[in-house]
Amino acid sequence: MQLVRQEVTIAEAAAAQHVDRSTIMRIRTVAKEGALAALAASKPGVHGGDRDYELELSRTEVARLSEALKEMAVKLTLVQGKGRWG
């Protein structure tokens, strides 16, 4: 971050961390690419191509099972209710 804020030079950052300057350059490149990727992903409407099909299938299955459970609860209530009256 000190490099980004231009508080230190690459040589100073490398000396402070006891690493080669190429290591600092690589870390800076990776951080910059990661920041750009995160920025691109945060834009509204960009997520259209990234679909999680497994999540969609799971949600569909949850909805199906929820409906089945509701039907079974209604049937059970009707059967138990008839038993008390008859």
User: Which residue ranges in the chain fall short of pLDDT 70?
Assistant: 43-50, 82-86
What is the reported pLDDT for 50?
Answer: 65
What is the reported pLDDT for 69?
Answer: 93
pTM > 0.75: yes or no: no
Q: What is the pLDDT of residues 5-19, one digit of tens each?
A: 888 888 998 898 898
Distance of CA 59 to the CA centre of its chain: 16
Other residues' Cβ atoms within 10 Å of the Cβ of residue 28 = 14
Here the tokens at position 14 are 């490398």
